Amino acid sequence: MHRILKLSTPVVLITFFGLIGLQLLQSCRHRIDYINGQITAYDNSTTVQNTIYGRVVDESGTPMENVTVSCGNTTTLTDVRGLFFFRNIVSPEHATTVVAKKQDYFHGSRTITVQKDGDQQIEITLLSKGLPKTFVSANGATVDFGNGMKITFNPSSIYNPATGNSHEGQVYIYARKIDPTTTLGRATMPGDLRGITEATSEERTLQSFGMMCAELTDINGNPLQIKSSAQANITLEIPSSLQSAAPAQIALWYYDEALGVWKEEGFAYKVAGQYEGSVKHFSFWNCDTPEAAINLQMNLVDQNNNALQGYVVKLTNTLNNDYRNGTTNSNGWVSGLVYANATLLLEIYNPANVCGASTPLLSQTVVTSSINMNLGTIVVTVPTGTCTFNGIVIDCTNLPSANAAVYVSPLNLLISANNLGEFSYTLPCVPSQPLTFTSYDLTNLVNGTSTATLVSGSNNLGNVYACGDVTPFLDLYLINLTNSNSDTFHFVAPMQTIGANVIDSGANSRTEVYASGFSNNYFTLHSSDTVVGTHPVTLAYFTGPSNFTDTQFTLQPGSTATYTSYPIFPGHLLGSFSINFVGVPSGHIYNAIGSFRAPRNN
């Protein structure tokens, strides 16, 4: 059994929404619905409720455990498979951003358009920071990263934004070049190449001619930045396939993680196959041409009118070979920004490369104009020799789970179950190897696995049980918000002690959850009331973490504990928490998030 770290309620989905004029030039059964209007200024005010499932991987595609993933104010941690689950949260319809963070990696994110009442799967790839380069701020330096990327710092141009003081000593700089022409480059770039122009605040889709990310710290890991009165010069090699098309002057854009968009700021100039420009701060920087954009959406079904979930839709601009892609949600729907006034090659691929993704299942040309467009329903003929599987997710009480999902490996396919625990999916071919089905009970934070070898036609998996080993645990992620240092702590029975005391005394009723037992680490929280729900944390204590200079932590306001299951003794309390601490002796602000399964002692 693997624990799921779920710190709040559900989330969102993906769309390419808008107003465009589009024509299909090759035959295919479809219905076209036009949406009146035209995108001008960026507007992300409309929100909807939906769900997002996803996975976080490193550059090699290996799943990453205990990554902090957030969408708005909702935060969770990835499990051993790199998976995270947000269900039924409210987020912006036009552009929802999911952010993934882990120590020693640059932040990763995806910006997607979401649809009400659909479940969307995304994947975020994190870039390792690697080893830093160093220089002395008082002297300045040109730092050469050896891959067509350089950064030049003027003397005494660095400061500590937390203190406001000038930093004259050693600077540690972590930086990576991102090639927009490679698969890895596309996977690791943040957002979705959605930009906001500096002069008019209009939304554009961006064609990238080179990208980089950089972070500066002092010897203790405290973030540093360029002084407001200074700037740094960046040099970025243009990919060889883009050299001839690269303009002599190009706009610079930085990534605004809070908004999930790129913002225009400054220019770079083409010199000997490289772009050279000046920047006033560091994050992700991008050399892009802003292009007119519209939102395009469509629904995919097979020849039997079944929604095609998890299928990849790719739209390539035939003029410059730049492309956009998305993945269909549980309703077979996908939407996002594409080039306006362009001829696009629309290609649809089977999910998870199960049958090989080199040949699209459908290919046709689409011509866009300046208004958003809904292509309606497109019928994709799934090849003969297909196989369908279905089943029911059963929880630990031997009842269908009303809040469940199924992860299919090695296909990297996430399937949402309905409120009766039922799920069904059609693959375009028969897998050549057995599949492992991991069934998640997202209410009780447990899962179970089963294996099946599929055959052509229908495959009824019957009941799949999301009830593995229900071992008590408490997982905690602690981050120093002052300098971004972080660590994760795992308490697991029987090696460590986890428990809950319930004090039921009217107005003074409270719940006490605790974990202890390794490296002198001890954690406890007290919260008001003794029922399911979210309650204020009235006392919290954490001591012993060796990765921080602070050794004790005291509670701050705004801390909460959420109980998703509160059974009678001897049942297990299930829940999550978000706690604000002040570290002693530094006075730094910390945030601790986590989840637990704690057996009641009374």
Domain ranges of the chain: 133-291, 387-465, 473-599
φ/ψ of residue 97, rounded to 5: -115, 130
Q: Are 27 and 38 in contact (CB under 8 A)?
A: no
Q: Could you tell me whether strands 68-71 and 74-77 are parallel, antiparallel, or unpaired per DSSP bridges?
A: antiparallel
SS3 letters across 492-530 = ECCCCEEEEEEECCHHHCEEEEEEEEECCEEEEEEEECC
Instruction: Check residue 353 and give its pLDDT.
Output: 60
Among residues 128, 130, 110, 129, which one has the least CA distance to residue 120?
A: 110
Residues 6+ apart with CB under 8 A from 152: 140, 141, 142, 143, 232, 233, 234, 235
Instruction: Check residue 574 and give its pLDDT.
Output: 86
Instruction: Check residue 479 and give its pLDDT.
Output: 87
CATH dotted code for 387-465 = 2.60.40.1120
Instruction: Check residue 8 and give its pLDDT.
Output: 31
Helices (H) and strands (E) in the chain, counts: 1, 46
Instruction: Check residue 191 and give its pLDDT.
Output: 95
Instruction: Check residue 40 and give its pLDDT.
Output: 56
Secondary structure class of 124 (helix, strand, coil): strand
Instruction: Check residue 545 and give its pLDDT.
Output: 63
- The predicted model scores a pTM of 0.79
CATH of 473-599, one of 3.30.70, 2.40.128, 3.40.50, 2.60.40: 2.40.128
Say how many C-beta atoms besides its own lie within 10 A of residue 126's C-beta: 23
Helix (H) or strand (E) holding 188: helix 183-188
Instruction: Check residue 489 and give its pLDDT.
Output: 82
Q: Which residues of the chain have pLDDT under 50?
A: 1-39
**Tokens encoding 94:** 């036009």
CATH dotted code for 133-291 = 2.60.220
Instruction: Check residue 443 and give its pLDDT.
Output: 81
Distance CA 172, CA 221 (A): 8
Q: What is the DSSP letter of 186?
A: H
Instruction: Check residue 432 and give its pLDDT.
Output: 84
Secondary structure class of 38 (helix, strand, coil): coil
Say how many C-beta atoms besides its own lie within 10 A of residue 571's C-beta: 12
27 alpha carbon, distance to own chain's centre: 36
Instruction: Check residue 262 and give its pLDDT.
Output: 97
pLDDT tens per residue across span 551-568: 778 888 999 999 988 888
Instruction: Check residue 14 and give its pLDDT.
Output: 31
Instruction: Check residue 19 and give its pLDDT.
Output: 28
φ/ψ of residue 383, rounded to 5: -60, 160
Among residues 569, 408, 393, which one has the least CA distance to residue 467?
A: 393
Instruction: Check residue 552 and give its pLDDT.
Output: 78
539 alpha carbon, distance to own chain's centre: 32
Say how many C-beta atoms besides its own lie within 10 A of residue 116's C-beta: 13
Among residues 245, 258, 420, 419, which one has the least CA distance to residue 322?
A: 245
